[in-house]
Structure 1
Amino acid sequence: MLRRISSNFSSFQPITFKPGFNVILAEMAPNASDKHSRNARGKTTLIQAINYCLGGSLAKSMAPLGPTGWAFSLELDLFGSTVTVTRKVKGGTRLSLAYPAELTGALHPYLDENSTISVDDWKFLLGLGLFALDRVPEQGDRGISPRTLLSYVIRTEAVKDPLKIIPQQPAWSSREHVAYLLNLNWELVRDLSRLEEDSNTYKAIARATKKNLLPRALRPEPELMLELVEAQRTLEELSSRVNGFQVVDDPDGLISRADRVTEELKELRNDALVDRRMIELYAESIEGEQTTNDEGVGEAVAGLYSEMQRAFSPEALHSFEKVEAFHQQLMGNRRRFLASELERLRIQQAQRDERIRELTASRNSILTVLDAGGALEELSALQNECAQAAARVSEVEASLSNVRDLAEAQEGIRVQKAQLRQETARDLSTNRQKLDSVATRFDSMMQDLYNVGGVLTAEVDDLGFKFSIRVSTSASGGVTRMQLLCFDLTLMAESDELHHPGFLIHDSVVFDGVDPRQVAAGLRLINETVENVGGQYICTMNSNDVPDLVRGEEWFVHGTRRVVLDTERGGILGTSF
């Protein structure tokens, strides 16, 4: 419970709060003119000062109070005793604490020699004392924040969705903190939201990989497998060459020898080609003569000779016999010459073939040495090329491993999400009776205000607990604000079962635009609720927003803690700034 708000400036009249209903009212003075207004009376500033003392950030509208030395003090119940915290508007990084002796053991470890405490330690103590929150989240931890929890009980903004403190609040944050307030396992929401974020990241990477939008290191697995096989083959070939490499003292001399041998082989093969052609011609010529029938030729010559006897003289025929004998002798000489040349060419060809074989073997030996070895600098270059190939294999293997790890991580996330969803469903089932009680109370409050049903539901999806509020009437601004009022009252009314400090603060904006009949019903509902559960409700209002039927009731008059007139200089703070 909050007990008192004060300042080190006497212009600010301290305000004492009581259990039950408390209201700070902005009123028109009897002699006020049309130029006066209930607005800008410092109602919101008062709530901001309370919030500031409870570890909140300094509102921009309060910054002008800093240079003049303003500080605010708030008395509140904490750990079963009353503690007074004082915080300077300017440079309020540390707060002063005044506390009874029985809290020395609990508070002393957080204080310095001047009995001041850091803002972070103060927020931790508030989380522990008001909400039973025993830890403060680290940066980026997505844990429960004491300040966010306080924003659910100190409303300076009338958001449309009561499950949020500001419209921009992330879904995971609202779900976590509402789950904590309802005493559910909020860590399930935290873990599922982390997995969902990781899953979305992996999905985005996978989509970009398929579309070749990422560096070559991340590509589809089949493409990487093909590249890996090719890179391994190249590495094996280079490694084999390195392993069989022979350092040659004079590689240039070997190349010259290989060139000379190659040139001689070329000449020998050219000569062999010519000889082969001559052998074929001589063999064909001898073969043709052997197939010729000598006797047939003689008969033909005899027949011709017989015919010539009738035409030539005996002396002429005698000369023809000599010609025939010469012809026979000439043909015999030709056959002997051809046979001799053919034999010579064949011997020469055999000798040449043997020389060609010797030279070919010699050249192959030289080329083998040159292919398997070379100068030392060539070996170094080959080794460097081999190292690059090995690095490429490692690079592709790493990329392949990353792609596979990515797929494995995605599958792991799916499994973890399924397991956490089951655990969330079990937790929801275990606490269903408690949640039904909360939903029934919320519905009852909406029935009191609008005579229509309202539901507060909880279910499970991929982000854990999913809460929603629905009311079976038009979603006007007034209805939306009363949903907020009923939700906050419900949490406070169920505070014995839930994590709640037992007090609730609403700025006047919560009642803006609400039909006077619902305002009256809402204020009565507030008073009835806090009286029944022993809670504390603090609000600020303009008097013209309070229906006459309510303003005259004893509980409202008794709960009015401060009336600030529109003629008062500086409003609640008593100073203009």
Structure 2
Amino acid sequence: MSADDSRFKEIAFQGGLNLLLADKTEASTSTDSRNSAGKSSTVELVHFLLGASGSTRNPFTKRALRSITFGLDLDWPDVTETLEVRRSGARPAFVTLQPDVTAPDPDSLFALETQGQAEVPIEQWNHLIEHRLFGLRGDHPGVSGRTLLSYLARRVSAHGFNEAGRTFSRQPAADATTNLAYLLGLDWQLADGYRQLAARDATRKQLRKAVNDPVWGQIVGSTADLRGQIALAEAQVERLQGQVAAFQVVPEYEHLKDQADELSRRIKQLSQDDVIEQYNLDELQQAVIETADVDTQYLQPAYRELGIVLSDQIRRRFQEVEAFHHSIVRNRRRFLEEEISELTTRLAERRTERARLGEEQAQLLRQLDEGGALEALTSLQQALAREQAALGALRHRYDAAQTLESSSRQITAKRIQLQQAVETDLDEREQQTREATLLFSRFAQALYGPREAFLAIQAGRESLTITPRIDSDNSRGIGNMVIFCFDLTLAVLAHRHGRGPDFLIHDSHLYDGVDDRQLRAALQLAADVTREETMQYIATLNTDDLAKATRLGFNAEPYTLETVLTDSPTGGLFGFRY
């Protein structure tokens, strides 16, 4: 483990047991503490380099450390040399890998080419860890490489030492046991069924709270109302589907439509012309009636009665005027009759033309009525799509309402079925549960002698329960040693069967309150087991705690790392305090 900052205390780990010590200096006072030497930070740094979140809460993204690039060299499957991992808090979304182990197909039968380096997104790095270190293939909901790593390197910052079965204080039981089931070789997919049911139950409870909300009916509604709405929507969809199926696209639809519109305008114009000319015809006919010769027979008797004798010349002039007037009347009558004849002819011709145009218009309208334009079909199809989408939304609302109304019974029934399935699976996997129990019992008896110690694995109602037990009091020290034996069991079994890497890391907090004899036994057990299983165990310890074990005969010299952290301002892991 290294950094590009010269103040950093580089650490070289080895196979088997590794003891990273924190010591006091001669200048230490009663106010100095080894709690800031960097023991827990070592575990945090391993997580950071193995894909932990680069959020602002991560200590390596803080201002004091973000400019430093940290590195970890580790063995990697199918790589002859070590894999160098580099990551900085300044660019937490990426890691640099040397060599580039991302290029070949991880399922390839051939060894990886150890050339070049690659800057890899942290999501891809986590995927590689899951695939290559934990053997996870394809989709694996409920099982996470980050969670699995947290069992092999528990973090104090996440309260990972509070309980053996959880890696952080609020970890749901179903989530924890799914990952534990994978490490132990149980059916983790069955175990994940509890997590899925828990998620459904949480959703149901939230929806139940929303039932009394007045907006609820608009968002979901009741199944009774939705059934009726769905029936109407289905009928509308069927009607539109029938229209689409029967629709015929008329060639040159727009041209035919334009012709029909032109005929309509022509017929309308003819009708308007008829109105005008019919009015004119009426006026002419009235004018013919009013055009007549003037009666002049009364003039001569009238003059005689007045005693006026008209001369022959005057009577001749009057006759000429009378003849001229008769000529004018005859001419006017002839002109009016000719105009009437023309108007009558034109009205008759327009009636004939209107009839012809009406027939043509009717024929065009029949063609248009039998089909439509492509645009009309598209609009009809869009309307159908909208109605189908609305129907789909109604069905989703119905499913949600039905799920809510019957979810409690369904979840209860599913839990019973799942519990029975898990019980059956545990019976069928007796070999795996037996191996895990015997291994845990062996480790516990190495610490406490012939006490009853076992793993209680049971199909519970809410989750698969995996509980390590040692027959003893409930002291803090014994509780920590239960975690030690449990983690060692997980690490060994996962490594044996290709479900995990070959290392286990424990922070010094695990050994707080542990009796000197159990501390010595735990360190010796870790040394023996890692040698037998070809594994690596890393523990951070205070020197005075290690002294307790050495006084009881533990030989720490082969396992103590050269790098020693101290409580001085420059003696910590990073070489400075922040």
**TM-score, normalised relative to structure 1:** 0.61
1:428 corresponds in structure 2 to 426
Counterpart selection for 2:18 from 12, 22, 40 = 22
Partners of 2:73 and 2:395 in 1: how far apart? Answer: 65
1:574 equivalent to 2:578? Answer no
Note if contact 1:188-1:464 (Cα within 8 Å) is conserved in structure 2: no
Q: Does residue 475 of structure 2 align to residue 476 of structure 1?
A: yes
Q: Contact 1:224 / 1:399 at 8 angstroms: preserved in 2?
A: no
Output one character per residue of 1:189-210: Cα deviation in whole Å (capped at 9) or x when no partner. 223332344356557867987x
Question: Which protein has the larger Cα radius of gyration, Structure 1 or Structure 2?
Answer: 1
Q: Pick one of 156, 163, 167 that aligns with 2:169.
A: 167
Equivalent residues in 2 for 1:191-206, closer than 5 Å: 191-199=193-201, 201-202=203-204
How far does residue 529 in structure 1 lie from its aligned partner after superposition?
Answer: 1.5
- Whole-Å Cα distance in 2 between the matches of residues 435 and 501 of structure 1? 20
Q: Does the Cα contact within 8 Å between 2:21 and 2:542 map onto a contact in 1?
A: yes
Residue aligning to 2:435: 437
Q: What is residue 87 of structure 2 aligned with on the other side?
A: 87
Give the partner amino acid of 1:163: G
What pairs up with 1:133-212 in 2 under 5 angstroms? 133-135=136-138, 143-157=142-156, 158-199=160-201, 201-202=203-204
Change (3 A) 1:547 1:205: same
| Equivalent residue number for residue 453 of structure 2 | 454
- Show the 5 A alignment for 1:272-291: none
Amino acid at match of 1:558: P
1:119 aligns with 2:122: yes
- Per-residue CA deviations over 1:135-178 (Å, capped at 9, x if unaligned) read 576xxxx5211111111101122523211001111112111111
2:549 and 2:161 map into 1 onto residues whose CA distance is: 28
Q: 1:490 aligns to what? A: 489
Q: Partner residue of 2:297?
A: none
Does residue 519 of structure 1 match 2:502?
no
Shift of 1:542: 0.6
2:427 alignment partner, SS class: helix
The letter for the 1-side match of 2:573 is: I
Deviations 1:499-547 (CA, angstroms, capped at 9, x unpaired)? 2212101111111122222211211121122122111000111111124
- Code of the residue aligned with 1:93 in structure 2: it is A
In structure 2, the CA distance between the partners of 1:53 and 1:405, relative to structure 1 (3 Å rule), is: closer
**Secondary structure, counterpart of 1:505 in structure 2:** strand
1:509 maps to 509
- Is the 8 Å Cα contact of residues 447 and 522 (structure 2) preserved in structure 1? yes
Residues 11 and 397 (structure 1), Cα distance of their counterparts in 2 relative to 1, 3 Å cut = closer
Task: Say if 1:154 and 1:505, in contact at 8 Å, map to a contact too.
Answer: yes
Counterpart contact for 2:37–2:571, Cα < 8 Å = yes
Name which of structure 1's ranges 534-543 and 466-475 shifts more when overlaid on structure 2. Answer: 466-475
Secondary structure of the residue aligned to 1:492 is: helix
- Between the aligned partners of 1:429 and 1:519, the Cα distance in structure 2 is 36
The answer on whether the counterparts of 1:516 and 1:547 sit within 8 Å (CA) in structure 2 is: no
TM-fit CA distance, 1:31: 5.5
Instruction: Output the CA distance in 2 between the equivalents of 1:163 and 1:526.
Output: 20
Gaps of 5+ in 1: 233-394
SS of equivalent to 1:133: coil
DSSP-derived class of the 1:572 partner: coil
Q: Tell me, in whole angstroms, the C-alpha distance in 2 between the residues paired with 1:550 and 1:576.
A: 31
Which moved further from structure 2: 32-41 or 469-478? 32-41
Deviation at 1:34, TM superposition (A): 4.0
Matches within 5 A, 1:22-41: 22-30=18-26, 32-41=28-37
User: How far apart are 1:17 and its partner, in Å?
Assistant: 0.9
| 1:81-480 mapped onto 2 (5 Å cutoff) | 81=79, 82-99=82-99, 104-106=103-105, 115-135=118-138, 143-157=142-156, 158-199=160-201, 201-202=203-204, 413=411, 416-451=414-449, 452-480=451-479
Say whether the 8 Å CA contact 1:94–1:119 is kept in structure 2.
yes
Q: Which moved more, 1:440-449 or 1:485-494?
A: 440-449
SS at match of 1:15: coil
Shift of 1:552: 8.9
Query: Structure 2: which 5+ runs fail to align?
Result: 233-392
Residues of 1 paired with 2:214 and 2:14: CA distance? 64
- The Cα RMSD (Å) is 3.9
Other structure's SS at 1:155 match: coil
Question: SS where residue 573 of structure 1 aligns?
Answer: coil
CA distance in 2, matches of 1:167, 1:560: 32
The aligned residue for residue 75 of structure 2 is 77
Secondary structure, aligned partner of 1:479: helix
Q: Distance in 2 between matches of 1:176 and 1:62?
A: 30
The change in CA–CA distance for 1:193 and 1:60 in structure 2 (over 3 A counts) is closer
Once residues 147 and 412 of structure 1 are traced to their aligned partners in structure 2, the CA distance between those partners, rounded to angstroms, is 32
Which deviates more, 172-181 or 29-38?
A: 29-38
Change (3 A) 1:557 1:463: same
Further displaced range: 91-100 or 445-454: 445-454
Residue type at the aligned position of 1:545: D
Per-residue CA distance 1:30-51 (angstroms, 9 max, x = gap): 4544454433112222221121
Shift of 1:423: 3.0
Secondary structure of the equivalent of 2:419? helix
Aligned in 2, Cα 1:64/1:195: closer, same or farther, shift over 3 Å?
A: closer
- CA-to-aligned-CA distance 1:466-497 (integer Å, 9 cap, x gap): 22223322211111111110101111232313
Q: TM (normalized to structure 2)?
A: 0.61
Secondary structure, counterpart of 1:16 in structure 2: coil
Comparing 179-188 with 458-467, which one deviates more in the overlay? 458-467
Distance 2:47 2:202 in 1: 37
Contact 1:86–1:97 (8 Å) recurs in 2: yes
Question: Which residue of 2, 10, 13 maps to 2:9?
Answer: 13
Instruction: After superposition, give the CA deviation of every residue in 1:300-347 in whole Å (9 maximum; x if it has no partner).
Output: xxxxxxxxxxxxxxxxxxxxxxxxxxxxxxxxxxxxxxxxxxxxxxxx
Query: Which is further off, 516-525 or 444-453?
Result: 444-453
Checking the alignment, whether the CA contact within 8 Å between 1:551 and 1:557 is kept in structure 2 is: no
Alignment size in residue pairs: 402
Taking only the aligned residue pairs, the percentage that are identical comes to 26
Q: How far has the Cα of 1:85 moved from its partner?
A: 0.6
**What is aligned with 2:564?**
563
Which residue identity is paired with 1:575? F
The answer on whether the counterparts of 1:153 and 1:488 sit within 8 Å (CA) in structure 2 is: yes
- 1:320 maps to none
